[in-house]
Amino acid sequence: MKGNMEERAERLAQYIIENRTTVRAAAQKFGISKSTVHKDISERLPQFNRVLYQQVKEVLEVNKAQRHIRGGIATRKKYRGE
């Protein structure tokens, strides 16, 4: 998914908003690193599409608030052998 960084940032943001997904899941879907997704969303997107940035930021804030819960669930599964 190389090429136009603005287009990539918009596609990533739309995917995250539509699917209410995490940065990690978006990176896996598009075949790029989490760092690239984060940079596209947090640095590049606000420069040319502020409205879309505000929408994706809301989704990522919810994900950040739930992160500790998902981590606890993953740890429980790990030690239960699931």
Domain boundaries defined on the chain? 5-80
- 1 pLDDT more than 60: no
What DSSP letter does each residue of 16-58 carry, written as one string?
HHHHT--HHHHHHHHTS-HHHHHHIIIIIHHHH-HHHHHHHHH
The pLDDT value recorded for residue 2 is 53
pLDDT tens across 21-77, in order? Answer: 999 999 999 999 999 999 999 999 999 999 999 999 999 999 999 988 988 999 999
30 CA to centre of own chain = 11
Angle between helices 5-19 and 23-30 (to 10 degrees): 120
45 CA to centre of own chain = 13
The pLDDT value recorded for residue 82 is 82
pTM for this model (two decimals):
0.82
The pLDDT value recorded for residue 50 is 95
